[in-house]
Structure formats: C-alpha cells, structure tokens
A and B are shown apart, each in its own frame.
Chain A
Amino acid sequence: MSSPTNDTCLTLQGLDVAFGAQRVLQGLDWSLPTGQVVGLLGRNGAGKTTLIEALLGLREPDAGTALLFGQPVAQLSDAARARIGYVPQRSDLFEWLTADQLLAYFRSFYPRWNTAKVDGLMSRWDIARDKPISKLSGGQQQRLSIVRALAHDPELLVLDEPVASLDPAGRRDFLSELVEQVVDRRTTIVFSTHILSDLERVALDVAFLTGGRIALHAPLDELLESSVRLGGVPADIRRFVDEHQLQAVSRAAGVPVIARGRDAASLPRATSTVSVDPVTLEDLFLALTA
C-alpha cells in the first residue's frame, strides 16, 4: 500500500530458491519504488540474505525473474552495477590490503567516486588507513565496508545486517549517514536488521519475509496505527473481530491476538469484554514472522 510512484527500482516475480530439499524462497513477489527506504524483517533462517543475494544477481534463482533498474539482474550492465551499494552480512574485504589500498582498488571500477565523502567518513569514523584490514577490529571492518558501499553515491543501497558489530555510538553514526543519503540523493534503501529500534528510525516501510514470501509490505506508521492487540474470552474476541471487520494478523489457538483495521480511524475502542491495546514494531515482528 505504498504510495505509487512512476518508477520502480526493483521487481521480483515468482522467485524460487532452494538449497537441496529446503525451499527458502517460494514464489516470492516483491517490488520497490525508487526512493523508498524499506526494512526487511524476518526470523533467523527466513531467507533474508538469500533474497538480498538474488535481488542483486549474486545468486541465480531456480525460477522467477528479478529486474533491477528495469534490467534482468543476470545481465546487468556495468553502468547499472555501478549504481548499487551493498554491505554484505559477512565482510568480504580483502584482508591483506590496507584500507587505502582497498579503496583505491574499488575506485578504479566506478566512474563516480566521492573522494570528499570517503575522506570525511574515514576520519570521522576513525578507521586506520594504513593498517592491513585483518588487523582492524570487527567494528572497524564493518565501518570500512559501509564506506566502500557509500563511496560511489549509489542510487540503491542494500544493507544486510550492516551494524551487527557496531556499538550504539557507531550505529548512531551510521544512521546519521543514512539520513544524509536520503536527504541528499533520495537513495533507495533495503535495510535488513534485527535491531528494530534502528530500523524504525529510518525505514518508512517494512516488509516481512516468512514462509519464503513477503507476507506483508506496508508503511510502518500506518501499520502501527491500524493494528491492535486484543484480549478477552475467545468467543468475545471472535465476535468483536467480525463486528468491526478486523483482519487477524496473528492467532493463538485459532483466536486472533493481533488484528488490523482498514485504518487508524476505523479501529474500535475496548468494550467491557474485549481489551484493545496498541502494538509495537516488535509485537508485529513476532506476530508476522511466526
């Protein structure tokens, strides 16, 4: 239910990926308008990294199509590739190089390279430039990986657990940098993280990956305002849900626990038999990825 925009950055259709007998993505459809900042949420093992790799063309799906900037990802042109920034979950930096050598190496691939931004980030984030990368701390390596991904002013930024090794101050620096990207360039961002408090600051939309599909993709504000937790006797809750035309988001023993109305205004108030309480993103995460 995102606001329609004229151009689409990413379109996935009927994506299947299996590892042996284990089907990770199952007919997954997803599209992302240009300029959207979306949080990708799912439990461990839900297939977030697989989805990210498939959408970047780093993993060939068993079936389905993936279009980036309107081109099939398998045949993405170099020019289109240069518009992507990617921070992988596992550091893929060449550990024997120094940070400076690494950046010089990547710079040669990109027609656009923002030296001022790189220098600014390297000094603000206190990354040693002349030590072998293998000697940097996990946090510093992660920061360097982020600098590399931002250096060419990407139009699409894909972040796979980018801050797992950073302390709260480091995460705040990173979020500020993302805000800068959004302000200055309307960068499309796919942000996968388990740190919901970071996600809700920057992601306007959230997408929940479960059962090999995107179960729900909606604006976060709207989701918070239109969802409630219900409490009471099962029969009362069922009647209440029917009466107010709510849609169950999650159930326990068949009884709706969290439900959504069409919008915030249509949400009913509590009655003498049914309690109605607001929900947080964490509640929704647990409900929607169960």
Chain B
Amino acid sequence: MTDLSLFTVVAGSPEPIYRQLVAQVRRCVAGGQLKAGDELPSVRDLAQSLAVNPMTVSKAFGLLEAEGLVTRRRGLAMVIAEQHRRAQPTADRIDLLRPTLERAAQEVRQLQLPATQAVTLFKSILNEQEGQ
C-alpha cells in the first residue's frame, strides 16, 4: 500500500484540506512516485493518520476518481488508473509547479528582494531537502 507519509495537511491554509490531498496525489502521479496499479490508503486509515474528517478524504478521492487519476476497485482500495504508467514529461510537471512559484515570485517582489538572492535561496533549500 502507498506510504501514508506521502500525504500531509497544512492547517491555516486558504486551500481546503480536500484540495491539498488532491494536489498531492496529482503531483505524485505526475512525478511517477505513484504509478498505475498502486493502491491509495483506505479512507479510514488516511483520516486516522492525518486526524481529519473521513468525509474530507472521501471528497478528495471522489474528485481524483472524477479526474481519471484513480479508479475504484470493487470492495478493494482505490488504485492509480491504468493510463498513468510513467511520470509525465518534464514540461507538464513544470506547468504544475508554476502556480506555486508565481506565488513565491509575488512575495519576492513584495519583500523587494533581488531576484538572484531569491534564486540562491531556492537552490539551497532544494539542496537541503536532497541531503536529507
């Protein structure tokens, strides 16, 4: 089964929790971390592990199903749909990242930081994460 730690919830965000979960699965599928046939955790397990209302998890799974990212196997877990066999092309993945970086860019401008320093910071953060 899929590692529960793929999912996280950020409290105090303008993004509703069900949307956070949908976006996480979308990114993991685009990146190839989740592939066709991989099982999602059960609603109950994920709700328990995140301490969120199970209806919120159901709503996220329902939306993922409607998008064709996952399919529901009768009586079994939700699985990543057939067509998602490998990671999406880099260009598509870059598109998924763009909105987040646009927000960051806006904050950089508000803070009046030089672009080079912001880029340096982003690079060092990326490296920190890789080092872990």
Chain A residues in contact with chain B, CB under 8 A?
37, 172, 175-176, 179-180, 182-183, 196-197, 200-204, 220-221, 224-225, 278-282
Contacts and interface: CB of A to CB of B under 8 A. Distances in A.
Interface in B1-48: 9, 11-19, 44, 47-48
A196 B12 contact: yes
Contacts of B18: 221
Interface stretch (B52-60, B66-74, B75-83, B87-95): B52-60
7 contacts: A37-B53, A179-B53, A196-B11, A201-B11, A202-B53, A221-B19, A221-B56
Interface of B: 9, 11-19, 44, 47-48, 50-56, 59
Contacts of B50: 201
Contact of B51 (A172, A204, A282): A172
Q: Secondary structure of the A side of the interface? A: helix
B13 A176 contact: no
B54 A176 contact: no
A281 B55 CA distance: 19
A197 B59 CA distance: 19
Contact of A200 (B17, B47, B54): B17
A281 B47 CA distance: 20
Contacts of B12: 196-197, 200, 280-282
A225 B14 CA distance: 8
Given A225-B16, A279-B14, A282-B12, A201 B54 contact: no
